[in-house]
Amino acid sequence: MFVGYWIVATAALRQSDKSQAAIHWGHWALSQSRDQTGNLSLVGPQLPVSQAHIKEKRILRHMESGWQTDGKGPSIWDTFCHEKGQVFGNQNGDVTCNSYELWEKDLECIQQLGLTHYRLSLSWPRLLPDGTTRNVNQRGVQYYNRVIDDLLACNVSPMVTLYHFDLPQAIQDLGGWKSPGIATLFDNYPKFCFQMFGDRVKLWITINEPQVCAKLGHEVGIHAPGLKEKGTAAYLVGHNMLRAHAMAWHSYNSAYRITQNGAVSLALNSDWLEPLEPGRSEDVTSAERDLIFTLGWFAWPVFVTGDYPELMRSSIETQSKIMGYSGDLRLPRFSIDDPPILGTADFFALNYYTSRKVKSGGCSDQMLSMERDLDAEEILDPSWPICGVSWLAVVPNGLRKLLKYIKDVFNNPTIYITENGFAQVGRLQIEDVERCKFYKSTILEVAKAIEEDEVNVRGYFAWSLMDNFEWADGFSVRFGLFHVDFSDPELRRTIYQSGSEYAKIIS
């Protein structure tokens, strides 16, 4: 993703690190210089590079497809996609990139880029069609064994995500993430995966973007399972996801860590959010509250106190009183019977895409809702370019600011940037110059965070290896370093210019 004169070198990958990823920063010893255009560039020693690792995407963000193949059970996204009007153009994830049958082609792409790390997601309903270990799909186990073994044979280390939105429909039928019992059901699934694959997998993500799953799937309704239970369901879902994550972490810590020597976390998404007018106290407070409701919701219990931020709880309870709500606490409290939440992450996994300015007020809801609880308005700075979809403003220095915030607020954790990318829509552009510029600018900002802000960033994962099914946007949005021609029965993969530039940097 860099053009000609830009050089990035990283320190050699240290095998002793608990977790490694993408562009991997061990001990950076980089100097800064000015190129012929006056732009700040990174220059470092030509050391072995632990390179820009790309996240695998499968059906519905996990591009293996084969939604009914070889014993796989249905997921909530299979159900959601097959309902008219839920996804752009009524598209679905039945085939997508078809990594289930074209894995060898994917591996060729990985080798073409020269990667040493690769993030992939397991499909819960492929391994356990009804969501429980009573019904194990051995063909699913064989598939993932082959993927993991092939990666390792090519000297590529896998980072494995256990849950990326595709809840087994059978579990949803029992209440899904709203049910208190789901934490135990989920815990059985990671334990199964640790047993099957943990001898070779050293980097685990339990749950990807719980905030997105809770809010878009249960408050806004534009993601599966498509619920619109405003002001209540999302908080309950987020609570149960935290409980489930904590159970899985403790299971690994007590039964598997000593023999498998891996690391476990959950991937949290957040925009960078800053006050529209830094000198206006109302905007400063609103931006702080917005960060709490977005990132602090999950990071605060895991990294700071073991409980939700007081600012979040007080904001929700204030609105409950104003609206005359007299039901159960909308933001639940953790039980003494739950495993401790605090400390259940061996690293901080961050998904970052964009930034917003924030000002106070702006909510028009006359009923309970997360928007009313937040009571803040997010605004796009008109100076920020937009890539593809309307929400995705390109703000590379927002990532640096967010990394510094995480260092300062969450006790200086080891950080892996587990998603970051640039979208393309409309006319296909194989020579994706703007995406090349994006990665160049973004990785430079990460380097500044490391060198100047002393943030402990260990790795960067670009989203994504290939164009794929982007949830409610279907195939209309393209994030890949390889283009996939979905009109071609063979689903031909073609490298973008950004992919070629990426490969040059990490070679």
CA-nearest of 238, 237, 374, 376 to 319 is 374
What single-letter amino acid sits at 52? A
Would you say the C-alpha torsion 32, 355, 86, 266 has a positive or negative sign?
Answer: positive
Residues identified as active-site: 419
Axis crossing angle, helix 138-153 with helix 99-113, rounded to the nearest 10: 10
Q: Please name every residue paired with 105 in a beta bridge, in sequence order, or none if there are none.
A: none
Strand partners, 265: 205
Spatial neighbors of 142 by CB under 8 A, at least 6 apart, are: none
- Residue 312 has a CB neighbour count (10 Å cut-off) of 19
Q: Could you write out the DSSP letters of every residue in 196-208?
A: HHTTT--EEEEEE
**CA 165 to CA 63: how far, in whole Å?**
13
Which runs of consecutive H residues, i.e. helices, occur in 332-377?
Answer: 370-374
| Cβ 195 vs Cβ 156: under 8 Å | no
- Please state, in angstroms and rounded to a whole number, the distance separating the CA atoms of residues 293 and 273: 11
User: CB under 8 Å to 430, separation ≥6 — which residues?
Assistant: 483, 494, 496, 497
